[in-house]
Amino acid sequence: MDQKTKINKALRALPVLEGCPPEVFERFVEGSIVSVHDKGKILFLQDEPAERFYLLLSGWAKLFRETLDGAQAVVDVLSSGDLFGETAIFYENEYPFSAEIVERAELVSLPLALFKSEVEKNGAITLNTLHHLARHNRKQGREIEHLALQSAPQRIGCFLLRLFDQTQGGPVTIHLPYDKTLIAARLGMQPETFSRALKKLRTETDIDVAGSTVTIGDIGRLSAYSCGGCSSGFPCDDLEHANCRH
């Protein structure tokens, strides 16, 4: 598969572009740039002028904001299939957060001006974008609910369940970022709390954890344990595509 075909296929899997005519995909593919970055690469910073948005093909990235005293608040942790940076068109063409690669990643960057133009003139993309934002807002509301109602092990289980196609039956193997303190920060936990909660999750659901690799043998058991404190249930109703959360 050549690179343009690969990009076209990845873009067609995005719900935000669903139903668009072939010429729209052609314009996005022509304006695309594929790049590979190592851990630590800053893609953009909060409040910078936004010129491009991104689709993660492999690897991991984080979205974050910085407090006045220099601490980082992790907004999201992204993996293969996640789209980010596109919401800058609603923030005066400035990025509302910063983005950094946290495990070696391949990604596609696309012209933000082209996306904005299509949103303005293409009814299908406009409607898809509204659905995209609505799902994102519902996800944020559910995360607030989880902080109030779920235990720490349940929140970790929820995080794991959202990293794969929820229609498959298992077993499932997930390769997490090496730095688990990043996931702890994403879930609103201290690293030591995360370690204790992960150990309890292993006991309660019989998942296997070996370094950065997690194997889920029984998805039903994990979902039954993790989803008790969630109003959504399983499969999650705010996932935009099979493989990711954002």
230 vs 154, residue with greater confidence: 154
b/e 147-162 (16+ beta carbons within 10 angstroms → b): eeebbbbbbbbbbbbb
Domain ranges of the chain: 3-121, 145-229
- Residue 77: pLDDT band by 50, 70, 90 thresholds? very high
165 vs 112, residue with greater confidence: 112
The pLDDT score that the predictor gives to residue 68 is 80
The pLDDT score that the predictor gives to residue 145 is 78
The pLDDT score that the predictor gives to residue 246 is 35
Q: Tell me: pLDDT of 181 over 50.
A: yes
Confirm whether 3-121 and 145-229 share one CATH topology: no
- CATH number assigned to the domain covering 3-121: 2.60.120.10
| pLDDT tens sequence across 183-199 | 999 898 999 999 999 99
Q: Contact, 48 vs 112, CB < 8 A? A: no
Q: Tell me: pLDDT of 40 over 90.
A: yes
The pLDDT score that the predictor gives to residue 243 is 39
Please state the rounded mean pLDDT for residues 64-70.
85
Structure tokens of 166? 């929820």
Q: Tell me: pLDDT of 123 over 80.
A: yes
| pLDDT tens sequence across 232-244 | 778 877 675 433 3
From 161, 128, 152, select the one nearest 232 (Cα to Cα): 161
The pLDDT score that the predictor gives to residue 109 is 96
CATH of 145-229, picked from 3.40.50.970, 1.10.10.10, 1.25.40.10, 1.10.340.30, is 1.10.10.10
> What share of the chain in percent tops pLDDT 90?
52
CA dihedral over 17, 97, 234, 159, signed as positive or negative:
positive
The pLDDT score that the predictor gives to residue 244 is 38
Any idea which of 3-17, 24-38, 98-112 has the lowest mean pLDDT? 3-17
Q: Tell me: pLDDT of 168 over 50.
A: yes
